[in-house]
Structure 1
Amino acid sequence: MTMKNEKPSLLIQKYINGTASPEEREQLLNWYRSQQPETVEWPAATETEEKQVYDRMLSNIDQHIDASYPQPRPLSKWYYIAAAAAIFMVGSFATFLYLDKAAPEKIQVLAFKNDIKPGGNKAILKLADGSELVLDGATKDSFAHHQDLNIARISDGQLAFDKQPKDAQTDSGAPKYNTISTPKGGQYRIILPDGTKVWLNAISSIRFPSYFSAGERRVEITGEAYFEVSKNKQMPFRVISGQQALEVLGTKFNINAYANEPQINTTLAEGSIRLNRINVSESSILKPGEQAQLKTGGKLGAKIVPADLDEVLAWKNDAFVFNDMPITEIMQQIERWYDIELVYSGAKPNLRFTGIIPRSSNLSTFLKVLEGSGGLKFGIDHKKVFIQSTR
């Protein structure tokens, strides 16, 4: 059976998600191996030559995908081209010659002494009374002694709460707050009592009540989270993250509010958001495709800029997408997802990278793709990743 009968875009998506069967993976590999190889010198001598090689590779991949699967695809054309390009590089399906321009005696010998698997579905539920429940591998029976939690169901990586009546009250007359947090190398999905869906990235948390009282739905987050808010005009949904407060009725958006980042980035995918700065009498309205950037500790309001939704929402879609991103920012994402410690040799490299890599990739695969772009060498020793610039 050939790739032309198998919808290559579907197989690429399965590869990215890590759900492709051995037969499907072999089918995809065979298709790439059948393409005409090209030998190139990398890094290229000039930026113009580098762009020509890159554009030629993408054009060739695009032609094969379009010829094999001409009908409309559910994701953007760029997404599949980039995905194909990443797999193309990782699998070494073309003859790819990398020539290091640095003098050998100046480069420390780095090696992958071990490999590290990607993160997965890991989280801890902290109850109002201070007790904690590990959600990894938990079942509904795990909550038998906590009947007031009203757990509807729990599956691999997702916890759903029962919808509660508007007049639900606790013994004290006030809602009890729960917190779900993810560690390094963890992610999790939650369905709140109002039906709102939340995705938590690594090293993130959400604090929410056991029920939402009349007039308001209020949650607090740290780290990064993506929301699909259930519509309810009578009860605005509010998200508190650091120095900002968001108010929405029903929409889809992403908040990146890590404590070690210089700013809070709020990106709107659908609907509208009013962004308020806490203790400051000013607000901003976001439109779909826009990002609000609020400097941590700054006194000015948020800066509104166009957003790259594919890049911002990639983590939720089980991929890393980089569009001319500084390597230091990429390494921060790697640090969170693979639960490792970064060790730079000398000054941090001033390099940028464009590409897409599945989040299901082992760390060595990820680092080899970055090495292939030129200018970097990596080493792995237990939970430490050593980074050295070769330029």
Structure 2
Amino acid sequence: MELSKARELIQKYKDGTLTPAEKAILESWYLDLAKAERTPIDAETLESHLDEVWNALPLNNKAEIERGKVLSLFWRFVAAASVILILGVGTYFFYTGKNTAPIAEVVHPTDVAPGESKAVLTLADGAEIVLDSIVNGQLAREGNTSIVKTNPGEIVYTPSGEKTGGDNTLIYNTITTPKAGQFQVRLPDGTKVWLNAQSSVRFPTAFTGPERVVEIMGEVYFEVAKMTAGQRKVPFKVLAGKQLVEVLGTRFNINSYQDEGKIKTTLLEGSIKVRESGNANGGVLLRPGQQSELAAAGKDRAGSKQGFDVKTVNAGAVVAWKDGFFRFDNVGLPELMRQLARWYDMDVVYRAPAGDHEFVGQIERSAPLSKVLKILEMGDVHFRVEGKTIVVTE
């Protein structure tokens, strides 16, 4: 961009007439200056200009990231010759790649609404209750437990305290979310469970044994309540495919979608042990901020410890889906598109190679599909929507 055009945009910023697209153009120009070796621009001057532009950006005031931390991240991308793209109130998005993407308006002939709170509750007798279509109040009674819908997108299991007979057989329920759905449930022990799209959790309607065991598929976030029987702590266990997680009281996330090829377990608080089910002596202990990866059957796990790879991650980014955001941290296009496919109930077809694109940033999950694709297209990726299919094009 010519210097005269840049000055024009800066003046429009000062006048308060700079459009979001022009702000992105101005950002990209400064980043190009930073990466061009022939440009005699000192760091102090560049930082001053960038700070001006930063103050004009429509970031969400409720974002978790503090301004200083974001600026630090921003400068990391400047050093890497990357592009920051910012569109709309409450939405910011970073794209990292080899080429600076053009800024262009893309019009999509159709649009797809984002997912919402919806799920199906399957009772012990096989009866199914569509939770999103039921009014608040008691839904059913399983044994000594009442099932109550308290808010849209949430149900609570409440033990009555009554004792009946001597039958200690556990009664199991299952909550399943479809594509474009999410839901929350509070288990009888007080544990809170969030289900992402295309996920499920199977659990007893009362925890009466020496341990609490639930089974999941897909992606599920837990805030486990502590439970005691006399002086003994009752452990909580989560079975996800061939992986078993053992906890006492903690917050963690498990991503076990089959199409991801691995099970990712991320610890936010407390302590958990992750092991392969059937192997009582193996496994690894995770600390807050760590994530374990267990490859799917048949995958190469050479060099990993007890079958697991453990790394430090941004745990807040991992569970951002629970708080209404897509958060990407150097995510490749195929993984990103799988997330979109689940949330918008779409299929994805590639008519062009996925390439080595990597994405970093945040987009609201409440955004319609067209807005999300429009942001991604600024990263030199192109799409076409055909009915229920997102086509990745040249």
Name the TM tier (shorter chain). Answer: 0.7 to 0.9
Distance, in Å, in 2 between the alignment partners of 1:386 and 1:164 is 52
State the Cα distance separating 1:315 from its structure 2 match: 0.3
- Uncovered stretches (5+) of structure 1, i.e. residues with no partner: 1-29, 101-109
Q: Which amino acid aligns with 1:285?
A: L
Please name the residue that 2:11 is paired with: none
**1:189 corresponds to 2:165:** no
Fraction of identical pairs, as percent: 34
Q: Measure, in 2, the Cα distance between the counterparts of 1:301 and 1:315.
A: 27
Give the Å deviation of 1:217: 1.0
Q: Displacement of 1:48 after TM fit?
A: 2.7
Contact 2:142–2:205, Cα closer than 8 Å, also in 1: no
For the Cα contact (< 8 Å) 1:61–1:81, is it kept in 2? no
From 204, 215, 224, the counterpart of 1:220: 215
Residue 122 of structure 1 aligns with which residue? 118
Alpha carbons of structure 1 residues 99 and 343: separation in structure 2 relative to 1, 3 Å: same
Structure 2 CA distance for aligned equivalents of residues 147 and 139 of structure 1: 22
- Cα 1:35–1:325 change in 2 (3 A) is closer
Q: SS at the partner of 2:189?
A: coil
- SS of the residue corresponding to residue 193 of structure 1 reads coil
CA distance in 2, matches of 1:296, 1:119: 28
Measure, in 2, the Cα distance between the counterparts of 1:368 and 1:261.
Answer: 25
Mapped partners of 2:347, 2:35: distance in 1: 36
Task: State the TM-score, normalized to the length of structure 2.
Answer: 0.75
Residues 125 and 135, structure 1, Cα contact 8 Å, conserved in 2: yes
Find the aligned partners of 2:343 and 2:191 in 1 and give their Cα distance: 25
Q: 1:322 to 1:79 in 2, by over 3 A?
A: farther
Question: For 1:376, which of 362, 381, 384 is the aligned residue?
Answer: 381
**Paired letter, 1:268:** L
Is the deviation greater in 189-198 or in 280-289? 280-289
In the alignment, which residue of structure 2 is the partner of 1:250? 249
The residue that corresponds to 2:150 in the other structure is 154
Cα deviation, residue 31, structure 1: 9.7
Instruction: In structure 2, list runs of 5 or more residues that go unmatched.
Output: 1-15, 38-42, 75-82, 93-99
- The TM-score with structure 1 as length reference comes to 0.75
Give the CA deviation at 1:324.
Answer: 1.6
Letter in 2 for 1:292: S
Within 5 Å, give how 1:171-182 maps onto structure 2.
172-182=167-177
Q: Relative CO higher for 1 or 2, CA cutoff 8 Å, sep ≥ 6?
A: 1
Aligned pairs (5 A) from 1:95-174: 99=102, 112-140=108-136, 143=139, 149-165=145-161, 168=163, 172-174=167-169
User: Structure 1: which 4+ aligned runs deviate by more than 4 Å?
Assistant: 30-38, 40-47, 54-65, 78-82, 84-87, 90-93, 144-149, 167-172
| 3-state SS in 2 of match to 1:260 | helix
Counterpart Cα distance in 1 of 2:25 and 2:200: 47
- Structure 1 CA distance for aligned equivalents of residues 68 and 143 of structure 2: 44
1:259 aligns with 2:265: no
Identify the residue that residue 66 of structure 2 maps to in structure 1: 77
SS at match of 2:260: coil
Partner SS state of residue 87, structure 2: helix
Judge conservation of contact 1:168–1:211 (CA < 8 Å) in 2.
no
Deviation at 1:259, TM superposition (A): 1.3
Matching residue of 1:283: 283
Tell me: CA distance 1:202–1:64, structure 2 relative to 1, closer, same or farther (3 Å): same
The 5-angstrom pairing of residues 306-321 of structure 1 reads 306-321=312-327
- 1:161-183 Cα shifts (integer Å, max 9, x gaps): 11354x85677430110000000
**Compared with structure 1, are the counterparts of its residues 168 and 292 closer, same or farther at alpha carbon in structure 2 (3 Å cutoff)?**
farther
Give secondary structure in 2 for the equivalent of 1:379: strand
Distance 2:383 2:287 in 1: 40
Q: Is the 8 A contact 1:119 1:186 kept in 2?
A: yes
Look up the equivalent residue of 2:375 and give its one-letter code: V
Backbone CA RMSD of aligned residues? 3.9
Amino acid at match of 2:278: N
* Contact preservation (8 Å) 2:218, 2:256: yes
Q: Please tell me whether Structure 1 or Structure 2 has the larger radius of gyration of its CA atoms.
A: 2
Where does residue 336 of structure 2 map in the other structure? 330
Q: Match for 2:393 among 377, 388, 391?
A: 388
| CA separation of 1:267 and 1:86: change in aligned 2, threshold 3 A | same
Separation of aligned partners in 2, 1:259 and 1:57: 46
